[in-house]
Amino acid sequence: MLKTINYNGDLKEIANKLNNRKEEISEEVNNAVNGIIQDIRKNGNQALFDYCKKFDGYEIKDEQDLIVSDAEKEAALKEVDEDYIRILERTKKQITEFHKNQIDKSWSLYKDNGVIMGQMVRPIERVALYVPGGTASYPSTVLMNAVPAKLAGVKDLVIITPVKADGKVNPVIVAAAKVSGVNTIYKFGGAQGVAAIANGTETIKKADKIVGPGNIYVATAKKLSYGVVDIDMVAGPSEVLIIADEKANPKYIAADLMSQAEHDKLASAMLVTTSQSLVEEVNKELKRQIAYLSRKEIIEESLKNYGGAIIVDNLDEAFEVSNYLAPEHLEILVENPVNTLPKIKNAGSIFLGEYTPEPLGDYMSGTNHVLPTGGTAKFYSALGVYDYVKYSSYSYYPKNVLETFKDDVQTFAKSEGLDAHANSIAVRFEDQ
């Protein structure tokens, strides 16, 4: 099932295959979303209400219909099994344990000459978490986004999620919100929901940042709203790359490749190995295991178009390929996997050893599953506490210290043609 490529040093050929799967935002989608954004900016609530009725069938009669009430939350929570709540709590604990180490602190520097310099770390004040609605329900994403935000100190954290005509939010989303400490859940989503929370309306307070996954319209709305509001990232189709030696278990490799391929027909699942015989065994396992899986057609399409096996001469070449592709998920199935960490330059999240499969990271390992895709791990990081804070620098200079800098600063300013900058320094010493 996996097409085999013998690595000959041509990394661009492999990368082009994966890059071709990226869906370009069509002009039609771009124009439609931009129209929605402009309408929301101009007409506020009424435009939002109209789009919710048009796209989701949900009729909003007044402001109360925008938010999940306490009574609705209570009813929803009764539908969630207690053991599932336990799993959510355990997941929160795991995510907290990992992410609390990312908390940054303000600092100050006091110099002998009286100068004080430093940096303040402050949480973003209001963040909106987008959660897909309908049949696609991802309580894990609620936790992955909300827990780091809470650790960062975000006080005003809200969820926006589309609902159908009945106006009900999936109970597991309500449960995940409760476990995460998110009290406000808005009943709107889509491009119109992003536009409303990015710009604000008569009754909806503008957010400072929007995080969370969505369809092409949601992703486009986030992208077009960037600058008015901050966003986490514009993520593409999911991907996994597995580096394996000849001793790796083909059963595990096949299962892990399919666990990503089932996401989407555009998902990518790649194996990089030193063993041709391993590829043959993996193909046998793919055929055997896929027969029992409900998303068989999606998996087959994904593996056919964007899956494959790359045969390399040695593990150094394997890491060369991986670092060039910068995969979202990277599994290392070799002897002494922890010792390979120094070889890894670019990867969203790394899974070491045969008992650390990628789905563990999707749910409960503690690391974040909001990750850069499409090679952007070369310059983007996994979502973390640092995404929910901002940094302000400060300085204090006494007059006698500024005097030792005044001539150099003025010369620098004048060299750039900024006389007013130079004057700002000069006027402070005119009477001397």
The answer to whether residues 125 and 205 touch, using CB atoms and an 8 Å cutoff, is no
Q: Where do runs of H (alpha helix) occur along 364-398?
A: none
Distance CA 260, CA 203 (A): 40
Tell me the sheet residues that pair with 160: 130, 186
SS3 call for 190: helix
* CA nearest to 353, candidates 330, 334, 381: 334
280 is known as an active-site residue? no
Catalytic residue among 328, 331, 354, 358: 328
Distance CA 408, CA 403 (A): 10
Distance CA 342, CA 117 (A): 35
204 phi and psi, to 5 degrees?
-105, 120
SS3 call for 103: coil
Question: How far is C-alpha 243 from the geometric centre of its chain's CA atoms?
Answer: 24
Question: How far is C-alpha 209 from the geometric centre of its chain's CA atoms?
Answer: 13
Q: What's the farthest any 2 CA atoms get from each other in the chain? A: 88
416 is known as an active-site residue? no
- End-to-end CA, the chain: 83
* CA nearest to 129, candidates 227, 222, 209: 209
Distances from the Cα of 249 to the Cα of 44, 221, 286, 400, angstroms: 56, 43, 13, 70
Distance CA 24, CA 145 (A): 26
- Residues 6+ away with beta carbon under 8 Å from 213: 130, 132, 138, 141, 235, 370
Distance CA 409, CA 400 (A): 15
Catalytic residue among 239, 263, 300, 329: 329
Tell me the sheet residues that pair with 120: 392
Could you write out the DSSP letters of every residue in 160-187?
Answer: E----TT-PPPHHHHHHHHHHT--EEES
Which residues are designated catalytic?
A: 328-329
